[in-house]
């Protein structure tokens, strides 16, 4: 199963997110059979070199919302708005990106701040969700209604 996460290089929290991603990739490789992909808006760096060395496929991608987010940031007097949010909004573009790839019908998208403690693929593949799944962040026993 393909696993995706996103990061924008000009985010003010880039280094913190990059560190979290390195932990996520390390634990995914150690405990799961996930195939890692990074939706990345940025240039080559020590981070992209690390991703490549750890078999993460880098998909160079700038969100179609980037310019609109920049305009909203200007109106809100926040010059970091687009950089902070465009990576997060890249997740809504994932179905379109997957349609032009290898034909995978099911993927996992997570934020950067995850740690894998065991294999997740069998449970994810058994989930009957066809389009979109949401999980609680704070408490594993929380039920969404």
CATH code given to domain 2-126:
3.90.550.10
Q: Convert the pLDDT of each residue in 128-137 to its tens digit.
A: 776 655 555 6
Average pLDDT on 35-43 reads 94
Cα–Cα–Cα angle for 112, 44, 22, rounded to 5 degrees: 30
Pick from 45-49, 62-66, 82-86, 109-113: least confident? 82-86
Q: Residue 49, Cβ neighbours under 10 Å: how many?
A: 10
Among 42, 3, 7, CA closest to 21: 7
SS3 141: coil
Cα–Cα distance, 6 to 10 (Å, whole number): 13
Is the pTM above the cut of 0.85? no
What pLDDT score was predicted for residue 125? Answer: 87
């Amino acid at each position: 199963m393909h696993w995706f996460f996103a990061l924008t290089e000009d985010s003010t929290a880039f280094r913190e997110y990059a560190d979290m991603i390195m932990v996520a990739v390390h634990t995914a490789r150690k405990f799961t059979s996930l195939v890692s992909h990074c939706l990345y808006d940025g240039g080559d760096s020590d981070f992209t070199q690390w991703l490549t060395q750890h078999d993460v496929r880098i998909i160079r991608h700038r969100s179609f919302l980037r310019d609109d987010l920049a305009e909203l940031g200007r109106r809100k007097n926040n010059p970091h708005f687009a950089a902070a949010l465009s990576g997060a909004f890249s997740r809504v573009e994932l179905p379109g990106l997957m349609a032009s790839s290898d034909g995978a019908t099911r993927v996992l998208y997570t934020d950067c701040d995850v740690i894998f403690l065991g294999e997740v693929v069998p449970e994810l593949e058994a989930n009957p969700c066809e389009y979109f799944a949401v999980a609680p962040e704070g408490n594993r026993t929380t039920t969404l209604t």
